[in-house]
């Protein structure tokens, strides 16, 4: 069953989402923002301003998830203007960011991350990724720019929506099996095997 705002609030007050916004935030100091916070059946997390990296083409190299070369990614500058702080995701490129919120997922919950429609309408695709039962840390977020134009990706504003799905307790949680992405810090975590 998908969990509602009442359940999300109760669990957030016990540390499931930190920091937690109990309403949808759409404006800060009268300026519009890409919404974040609690919704009816989900929670929109924000992109951290701490780390955003873009894949770059290195002639003669292949990205290998079993032997990931960190030099295939380059850090991106955080820009600021009257609209807010943002990174630029170039046309037809792929970037990795990290959530501003830290998560601690309960043992009987799996979380699905879905892209926000505001970004989808600009050609930004957020890969659907799970946060499994008993996972904790800062999510590394995977974003594709499918458009032929560069796109601003705003820090400290909504980036993906989390949907919380409840099931019976599993025999072995992500924490119990010592999953390789457990306790991710607030920086981009590279592919691991």
Question: Between these two residues, 14 and 64, which has the higher pLDDT value?
Answer: 14
Residue 56 pLDDT: 85
Q: How many domains are contained in the chain?
A: 1
Average pLDDT, the chain: 95
d(CA 97, CA 24): 22
* Average confidence (pLDDT) over 48-54: 97
Cβ–Cβ < 8 Å for 16, 3: no
Going from the C-alpha of 70 to that of each of 12, 54, 134, 166, 192, the distances in angstroms are 34, 11, 28, 36, 11
* Of 74, 101, 104, 142, catalytic: 142
Residue 160 lies in a domain: yes
* Average confidence (pLDDT) over 105-133: 95
Percent of the chain topping pLDDT 90: 84
Residue 43 lies in a domain: yes
Residue 69 pLDDT: 86
Residue 145 pLDDT: 97
* Average confidence (pLDDT) over 1-14: 98
* Average confidence (pLDDT) over 156-161: 98
d(CA 57, CA 40): 41
Q: Which two tokens stand for residue 20?
A: 């937690």
Per-residue pLDDT band for 111 (boundaries 50, 70, 90) equals: very high
Task: Decide if 142 is catalytic.
Answer: yes
Per-residue pLDDT band for 168 (boundaries 50, 70, 90) equals: very high
d(CA 148, CA 33): 24
Kindly tell me the sign of the dihedral angle through the C-alpha atoms of 122, 96, 163, 35: negative
- Which among 64-68, 115-119, 177-181 has the top mean pLDDT? 115-119
Per-residue pLDDT band for 129 (boundaries 50, 70, 90) equals: confident
The whole domain housing 75 covers 5-166
Per-residue pLDDT band for 58 (boundaries 50, 70, 90) equals: confident
* Average confidence (pLDDT) over 8-36: 97
Residue 192 lies in a domain: no
Going from the C-alpha of 181 to that of each of 11, 74, 123, 162, the distances in angstroms are 22, 21, 28, 18
Residue 147 lies in a domain: yes
Residue 45 pLDDT: 98
Per-residue pLDDT band for 36 (boundaries 50, 70, 90) equals: very high
Domain CATH number, residue 28: 2.70.40.10
Residue 67 lies in a domain: yes
Residue 105 pLDDT: 97
Residue 59 pLDDT: 80
Residue 187 lies in a domain: no
Residue 193 lies in a domain: no
Residue 98 lies in a domain: yes
d(CA 41, CA 43): 7
């Amino acid at each position: 069953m998908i969990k509602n705002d009442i359940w999300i609030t109760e669990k957030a007050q016990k540390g499931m989402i930190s920091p937690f916004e109990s309403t949808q935030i759409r404006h800060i100091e009268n300026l519009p923002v890409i919404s974040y916070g609690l919704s009816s059946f989900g929670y929109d997390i924000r992109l951290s301003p701490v780390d955003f990296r873009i894949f770059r083409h290195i002639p003669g190299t292949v990205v290998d998830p079993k032997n990931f070369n960190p030099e295939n990614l380059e850090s991106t500058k955080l820009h600021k203007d009257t609209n807010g702080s943002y990174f630029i995701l170039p046309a037809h490129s792929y970037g990795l960011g990290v959530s501003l919120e830290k998560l601690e997922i309960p043992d009987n919950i799996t979380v699905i991350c879905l892209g926000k429609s505001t970004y989808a309408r600009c050609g930004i695709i957020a890969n659907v990724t799970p946060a499994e039962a008993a996972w904790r840390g800062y999510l590394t977020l995977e974003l594709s720019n499918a458009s032929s134009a560069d796109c601003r990706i705003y820090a400290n504003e909504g980036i993906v929506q989390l949907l919380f799905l409840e099931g019976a307790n599993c025999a072995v949680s992500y924490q119990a099996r010592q999953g390789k992405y457990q306790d991710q810090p607030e920086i981009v975590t590279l592919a691991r095997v």
